[in-house]
């Protein structure tokens, strides 16, 4: 069966880093006992008990073997057979903005995430947002999906003008790679029929050549830069809400995977210092912010600057992903259309080389296989010009990664990070609209990566879709679409592999595998207690498993009600 789970019980495990010392002198602060502990160590061992001291794992093994660590001041937690896993390590999301939609901007998602079924619904929610912000402020919304609207099209400036033609309105596609502006916002930006498309972007136009309000890729900032930023108070509240949300879903290390600025980095660190951020966050800077970000002094111990994020293409469901072959359903009747890159191949390689030579890690967003070709070319060139051991170059999303590209990833020692929830949220439309059956069945080719022995990760890309790690693991194991059909059974992976991809592999991706990602002696005590045994439950029920408790460095940061 595709869901077999290889965990060997360490019933007699007594070995630990302190085995030669007197356990009485190493009294644990907490001992979790009588559990089903899935350690995710190199052997996928299982154990019964975990002892914790000073935020670190002191011992792992059988309940009887760990009794010696229980002293007068030890808190003993009887897990009563419940399953404990390492804390979820978020391989890629946008933590700091994950709770902005629905809090400070209108939530325009369609089912199964939101309520918008047609453009009238969308207009209604924007009118409600207008009532919230008043007649002077910008009206914003996020998460609309043209392929899930009854009209099967993007809203236009004319649709948004029904809310207001004098108050600027700016809404974002669910992919984050397209936006729509109303007439007032376009006027503020000075966008007219004569405005040229920026390199790597498109201003969509109507039959008369007038901008219709829809902006693609690098055209987004033409309007987006004019929209007032969230206030500091709003951003701090967004961070606080995000921390609670991630912790409630078992995430102990989050990722802010794009364009971290010095200001945001300081806000994250201040939030952690003030006790308002219960988990750790790894942030990725951009090509433009990497030098400035590195100068910020961090004091909380919970915030870390990771790699540098760049983009090679956009989104397949937005028709801006760069494919090797044309889209299944022609874009605006153009049967040769296959999307476009953000940069020429040589420009991308030049940017990558600059980051690579600085000693930093680079992670590049690439969905289409043509975009992935460009990324792998850039990674290969960087290593040829300036060889670096253990660079851990990452391909974010890796959605259309072909078999030959996976071979190249292996040669480069690079890491593919798969947004495998595409199979659930967009699988039906990838099959029927964008890619056709054969290509759609191979999106997020996790099994092919596993078969090559690659270290790979899987991610949610929140807020593109909700932060639900159990649904993420479920998607990788089952590959079931929203209509209930299996998409690409040959690419399903076992539960144990999906769990590794959200824990130890994700820690490895961020150079933290020695400290986090598995339940082993000396590592950070980042632990999660689950309502069901993820190893033995019906694979289709994995998405329904609840997080009962989340523990970060030995401290309980979330407990489920009741």
Kindly give, in sequence order, each residue whose CB lies less than 8 Å from that of residue 521, ignoring residues fewer than 6 positions away. Answer: 16, 17, 18, 57, 58, 59, 60
CATH of residue 465: 3.20.20.140
Q: Is residue 543 part of a domain?
A: no
What is the per-residue burial (b if ≥16 Cβ within 10 Å, else e) of 208-236?
eeebbbbbbbbbbebbeeebeebeeeebb
Structure tokens at 275: 């006790």
Number of domains comprising the chain: 2
Could you list the residue range(s) of the whole structural domain that residue 208 is in?
Answer: 103-225
Q: Is residue 88 part of a domain?
A: no
Tokens 């987004």 -> residue: 220
The answer to whether the beta carbons of residues 439 and 401 sit under 8 Å apart is no
The beta strands (E) that lie in 138-210 are given as 139-144, 169-173, 178-181, 201-205
Distance CA 488, CA 551 (A): 35
Q: Is residue 289 part of a domain?
A: no
Q: Is residue 292 part of a domain?
A: no
Kindly give, in sequence order, each residue whose CB lies less than 8 Å from that of residue 330, ignoring residues fewer than 6 positions away. Answer: 337
Q: Are strands 139-144 and 106-107 parallel, antiparallel or unpaired?
A: parallel
Distance CA 88, CA 311 (A): 25
Residue by residue, pLDDT tens for the chain (562 residues) are 344 444 554 433 433 433 434 554 689 999 999 999 999 999 999 999 999 999 999 999 999 999 999 999 999 999 999 999 999 999 999 999 999 999 999 999 999 999 999 999 999 999 999 999 999 999 999 999 999 999 999 999 999 999 999 999 999 999 999 999 999 999 999 999 999 999 999 999 999 999 999 999 999 999 999 999 999 999 999 999 999 999 999 999 999 998 899 999 999 999 999 999 999 999 999 999 999 999 999 999 999 999 999 999 999 999 999 999 999 999 989 999 999 999 999 999 999 999 999 999 999 999 999 999 999 999 999 999 999 999 999 999 999 999 999 999 999 999 999 999 999 999 999 999 999 999 999 999 999 999 999 999 999 999 999 999 999 999 999 999 999 999 999 999 999 999 999 999 999 999 999 999 999 999 999 999 999 999 999 999 999 999 999 999 999 999 999 8
For 331, phi then psi, to 5°, come to -85, 115
Nearest CA among 58, 318, 75 for reference residue 202? 318
DSSP-assigned letter for residue 432:
I
215 in the same domain as 333: no
Q: Is residue 545 part of a domain?
A: no
- Looking at 225, 260, 278, the residue that finishes a domain is 225
From its phi and psi, is residue 470 left (phi > 0), alpha (psi between -120 and 50) or beta? alpha
- Looking at 493, 524, 555, the residue that finishes a domain is 493
> What's the CA angle centered on 403, arms 397 and 408, to 5 degrees?
80
320 in the same domain as 441: yes
The reported pTM is: 0.94
Q: Is residue 382 part of a domain?
A: yes
Q: Counting beta carbons within 10 angstroms of the beta carbon of residue 266, is it exposed (0 to 12), middle (13 to 18) or buried (19 or more)?
A: middle
Q: How many CB atoms within 10 Å of residue 134?
A: 9
316 in the same domain as 192: no
Instruction: Find residue 33's DSSP bridge partners.
Output: 78
Distance CA 244, CA 78 (A): 25
Q: Are strands 303-311 and 36-38 parallel, antiparallel or unpaired?
A: unpaired
- Looking at 191, 225, 259, the residue that finishes a domain is 225
* Residue 463: cis peptide before it, omega within 30 degrees of 0: yes
Radius of gyration of the chain (CA): 24
Q: How many CB atoms within 10 Å of residue 536?
A: 13
CATH of residue 207: 3.10.310.70
Q: How many CB atoms within 10 Å of residue 207?
A: 6
Q: Is residue 85 part of a domain?
A: no
* Summary count for the chain: helices (H), strands (E): 17, 25
Distance CA 315, CA 339 (A): 9
For 496, phi then psi, to 5°, come to -60, -40
Task: Please give, one letter per residue, the 3-state secondary structure of 464-478.
Answer: CCCCCHHHHHHHHHH
């Amino acid at each position: 069966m595709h869901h077999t789970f290889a965990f060997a019980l360490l019933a007699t495990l007594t070995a630990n880093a302190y085995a030669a010392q007197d356990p009485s002198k190493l009294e644990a602060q907490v001992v979790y006992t009588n559990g089903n502990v899935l350690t995710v160590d190199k052997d996928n061992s299982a154990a019964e008990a975990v002892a914790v001291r000073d935020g670190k794992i002191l011992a792992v093994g059988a309940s009887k073997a760990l009794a010696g660590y229980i002293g007068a001041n030890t808190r003993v937690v009887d897990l009563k057979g419940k399953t404990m896993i390492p804390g979820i390590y978020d391989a890629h999301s946008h933590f700091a903005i994950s709770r902005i939609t629905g809090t400070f901007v209108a939530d325009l998602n369609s089912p199964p995430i939101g309520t918008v079924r047609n453009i009238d619904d969308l207009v209604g929610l924007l009118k409600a947002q207008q009532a919230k912000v008043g007649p002077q402020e910008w009206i914003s919304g996020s998460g609309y999906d043209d392929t899930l609207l009854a009209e099967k099209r993007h809203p236009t400036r004319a649709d948004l003008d029904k809310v207001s033609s004098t108050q600027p309105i700016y809404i974002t596609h669910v992919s984050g790679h397209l936006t729509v502006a109303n007439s007032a916002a376009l006027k503020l930006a000075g966008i007219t029929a004569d405005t040229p498309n920026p390199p790597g972007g498109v201003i969509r136009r109507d039959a008369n050549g007038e901008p219709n309000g829809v902006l693609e890729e690098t055209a987004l900032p033409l309007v987006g830069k004019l929209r007032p930023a969230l206030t500091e108070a709003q951003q701090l509240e967004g961070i606080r809400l995000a921390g609670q949300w991630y912790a409630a879903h078992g995430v102990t290390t989050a990722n802010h995977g794009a364009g971290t600025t010095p200001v945001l980095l300081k806000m994250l660190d201040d939030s952690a210092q003030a006790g308002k951020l219960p988990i750790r966050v790894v942030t990725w800077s951009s090509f433009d912010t990497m030098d400035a970000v590195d100068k910020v002094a961090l004091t909380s111990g919970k915030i870390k600057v990771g790699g540098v994020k760049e983009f090679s293409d956009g989104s397949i469901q937005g028709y801006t992903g760069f494919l090797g072959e044309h889209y299944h359903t022609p874009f605006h009747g153009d049967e040769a259309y296959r999307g476009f890159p953000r940069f020429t191949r040589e420009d991308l390689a030049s940017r990558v080389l600059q980051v690579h030579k600085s000693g930093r890690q680079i992670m590049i967003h690439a969905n289409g296989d043509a975009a992935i070709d460009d990324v792998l070319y850039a990674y290969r060139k960087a290593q040829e010009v300036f060889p670096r051991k253990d660079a851990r170059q990452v391909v974010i999303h890796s959605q259309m990664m072909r078999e030959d590209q996976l071979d190249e990833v292996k040669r480069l020692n690079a890491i593919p990070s798969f947004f495998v929830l595409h199979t659930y949220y967009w699988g039906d439309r990838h099959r029927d609209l964008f890619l056709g059956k054969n290509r759609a069945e191979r999106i997020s080719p996790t099994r092919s990566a596993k078969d090559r022995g690659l270290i790979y990760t899987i991610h949610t890309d929140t807020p593109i879709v909700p932060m639900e790690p159990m649904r993420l693991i479920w998607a990788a194991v089952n590959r079931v679409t929203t209509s209930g059909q299996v998409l690409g059974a040959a690419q399903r992976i076992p539960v144990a592999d999906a769990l590794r991809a959200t824990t130890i592999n994700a820690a490895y991706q961020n150079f933290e595998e020695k400290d986090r990602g598995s339940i082993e002696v000396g590592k950070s005590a980042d632990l999660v207690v689950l309502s069901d045994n993820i190893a033995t439950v019906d694979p289709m029920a994995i998405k329904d498993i609840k997080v009962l408790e989340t523990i970060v460095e030995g401290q309980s940061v979330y407990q489920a009600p009741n």
